[in-house]
Amino acid sequence: MKLIILDRDGVINEDSEEYIKSPEEWTPIPGSLQAITDLNQSGYRVVIVTNQSGLARGLFDIDALNAIHQKMQNELGKIGGHIDGIFFCPHGPKARCNCRKPKPGLLLQASQRFFSDNTGIISIGDSLRDLQAADNFGVRHIHVLTGNGVKTKEMISHRNDVPVYDNLYSAVQELLNN
């Protein structure tokens, strides 16, 4: 089974230093929903792996997070797409959990849920912790320049093994056309 693991904020939707706290604040990056739909139609399972420390910080609650994810699924459904699973870390940055990226716990959960070994998994993200989580789990990573991507690109410029694309849509088109 082909499995794609996507970060959420800055990859699928616009990111905010103030956190995405409600469905009204969730805005897809142009082309991202079409990219997910294209992956679905090409036989990929698409999951989200995301740190959501706003929960631990009390900025929003689980109902708000679920409503954000429902809005995303609804918008995808309008164009024939869907997310197969959403895995999130609710802990703050100082927590010693295994689920907060750059640790690989959420990637492990996703691979176990979908019975996928590491060889077929691709991770797509915009931040250094996404790349580090992919490295820690032993999967291929693709970097996008949306969200924190431009800033992160400088930190990973020494990595010739990490392809870089303008956004999720362009990354997916290249993946599907090769």
CA torsion through residues 130, 171, 162, 121, sign: positive
What's the Cα-to-Cα distance from 79 to each of 3, 25, 75, 76, 121, rounded to whole Å?
20, 21, 7, 6, 24
Catalytic residue among 7, 15, 38, 126: 7
Angle at 95 between CA 90 and CA 97, to 5 degrees: 75
Catalytic residue among 9, 15, 38, 130: 9
The residues with which 45 forms a beta bridge, in sequence order, are 3
**Tokens 């703050």 found at:** 92
Q: Are strands 164-165 and 85-89 parallel, antiparallel or unpaired?
A: unpaired
Query: Does the active-site annotation cover 7?
Result: yes
Query: Does the active-site annotation cover 135?
Result: no
Q: How many helices (H) and strands (E) does the chain have?
A: 6, 6
Alpha helices, DSSP H, located in the chain: 32-41, 62-77, 105-113, 128-137, 149-155, 168-176
Catalytic residues: 7, 9
